[in-house]
Amino acid sequence: MTSETPLTIPTPEQIRRAPKVLLHDHLDGGLRPATIIELAREVGYEGLPESEDAERLDSWFRESADSGSLERYLETFSHTCAVMQTRDALVRVAAECAEDLAADGVVYAEVRYAPEQHLEAGLTLEQVVEAVNEGFREGERRAREAGRRIRVGALLTAMRHAARALEIAELANRYRDLGVVGFDIAGAEAGHPPTRHLDAFEYLKRENNHFTIHAGEAFGLPSIWQALQWCGADRLGHGVRIIDDIQVADDGQVKLGRLASYVRDKRVPLELCPSSNLQTGAAASYAEHPIGLLRRLHFRATVNTDNRLMSGTSMSGEFQHLVDTFRYTLDDMQWFTVNAMKSAFIPFDERLAMINEVVKPGYAKLKSEWLFHDPAPGAAPTSGSADSAG
């Protein structure tokens, strides 16, 4: 019997330690439930559906978001935004976000939020951005003290049903190189085409700035087509419905339509968020989630959390589901992670250094661990026993 390099199906602990890159995470979708309760008390917000028990509040968010509709999913954000109206609250939430991501093994994250949703207590747009930036820096510092490394950049989101996109785009441009790395639009997709905000996208293009657009989540190909060909998005937030332009015949032959070909040929990054899609009804199960096919077809697919609170997830959680469903290996995880890092909005030299100095060495270390494993006498092999056809 010859011994072969095992195909390393990562253990939960390895998934957590693996360096991960996150491009699509909402600040107001990732609060710690206990923090929501404390902040609600501090600011006198009485609208929480559960104001005593953090665990029950946590379940409430997950269950309410698990509605099968994007519109109902989005209603849960009124509670998180309600407690994110003061400078101190924003600093705290942002710091805890960076801390939580670092503890989960995320080394680089772009976290988005809509400044226009944090003005109810009188903050200006600038004060909102500065508070969140301060929080991210504080969280990075706490992570460093705990022996972890993370870099967090902000994406400023404009709400697609509102009419402030140009103003928010200008804000993103003003805080460029000061913690803000790009722009986004979010909110209910049906009935709110991205072309309504063309002035904002054209402005950002003239400024050589970057943006992503939530598209192809609740609404299909026309939304993706507009986001790319009318608005010029650098990345697609979700983009999962690109699957509607891919035909798989019974014999396994795959045919890409024009739009799907464009997305793959131009290496358009897809910010896929599997658990979120299950909740809003964009996919029926992990096994049926298009990420499996998109990965096989070598689209520029990335793995993301979207809203850690509403989906009860984390980057490790998302990867765990994919590992369980598709038997992904550490090589697959590395592929998704390198894809994400290539697609980040920070400068090319920094992305390259992150890939070569942080991501690849991290995976190389994990992939070599089996060599030094000291199995208990007589113990059966655990991980790494997948056959090579997987």
Q: Which of the residues are catalytic?
A: 217
Q: How many CA atoms lie within 13 A of 98 on its CB side?
A: 29
Q: How far apart are CA 60 and CA 312, in angstroms?
A: 11
**Is 26 a known ligand-binding residue?**
yes
Q: How far apart are CA 243 and CA 217, in angstroms?
A: 11
Out of 186, 228, 278, 315, point to the residue binding ligand NOS (CB under 6 A): 186
CB of 316 to ligand NOS, least distance (A): 20
Tell me whether residue 65 or residue 344 sits nearer to ligand NOS (CB atom).
65
Q: Does 275 bind ligand NOS (CB under 6 A)?
A: no
Q: Does 313 bind ligand NOS (CB under 6 A)?
A: no
- Crossing angle for the helix pair 330-342 and 360-367, nearest 10 degrees? 180
The option from Zn ion, ligand NOS, none interacting with 31 (CB < 5 to 8 A, set by class) reads none
Q: Does 214 bind ligand NOS (CB under 6 A)?
A: yes
The option from ligand NOS, Zn ion, none interacting with 77 (CB < 5 to 8 A, set by class) reads ligand NOS
**Is 187 a known ligand-binding residue?**
yes
CB of 353 to Zn ion, least distance (A): 28
**Is 387 a known ligand-binding residue?**
no
Q: Does 201 bind ligand NOS (CB under 6 A)?
A: no
Contacts of 377 (CB under 8 A, 6+ apart): none
* Number of residues in contact with Zn ion under rule CB under 5 A: 1
Is there a contact between 187 and 161 (Cβ–Cβ < 8 Å)? yes
Contacts of 388 (CB under 8 A, 6+ apart): 4, 7
User: Beta-strand (E) ranges in the chain?
Assistant: 20-26, 106-113, 151-159, 180-186, 212-215, 235-238, 246-248, 254-256, 270-272, 301-303
Tell me whether residue 77 or residue 319 sits nearer to ligand NOS (CB atom).
77
Q: How far apart are CA 223 and CA 215, in angstroms?
A: 6
Q: Does 302 bind ligand NOS (CB under 6 A)?
A: no
Q: Does 279 bind ligand NOS (CB under 6 A)?
A: no
Question: Which string of x and - marks every residue 43-82 that binds Zn ion (by CB under 5 A)?
Answer: ----------------------------------------
Q: How does strand 246-248 pair with strand 235-238?
A: unpaired
Q: Does 114 bind ligand NOS (CB under 6 A)?
A: yes
Q: Find, among 11, 17, 18, 24, the residue nearest to 340 by Cα.
A: 24
Query: Footprint of ligand NOS on residues 121-150 (CB under 6 A)?
Result: none
Tell me whether residue 152 or residue 354 sits nearer to ligand NOS (CB atom).
152
Q: Does 306 bind Zn ion (CB under 5 A)?
A: yes
Contacts of 329 (CB under 8 A, 6+ apart): 7, 8, 9, 10, 386, 390
Is there a contact between 4 and 380 (Cβ–Cβ < 8 Å)? no
Q: How far apart are CA 165 and CA 157, in angstroms?
A: 8
Residue numbers at the binding site for Zn ion (CB under 5 A): 306
**Binding site for substrate: which residues?**
26, 28, 187
Residue numbers at the binding site for ligand NOS (CB under 6 A): 26, 28-29, 70, 74, 77, 81, 112-114, 117, 157, 186-187, 214, 217, 276, 306-307
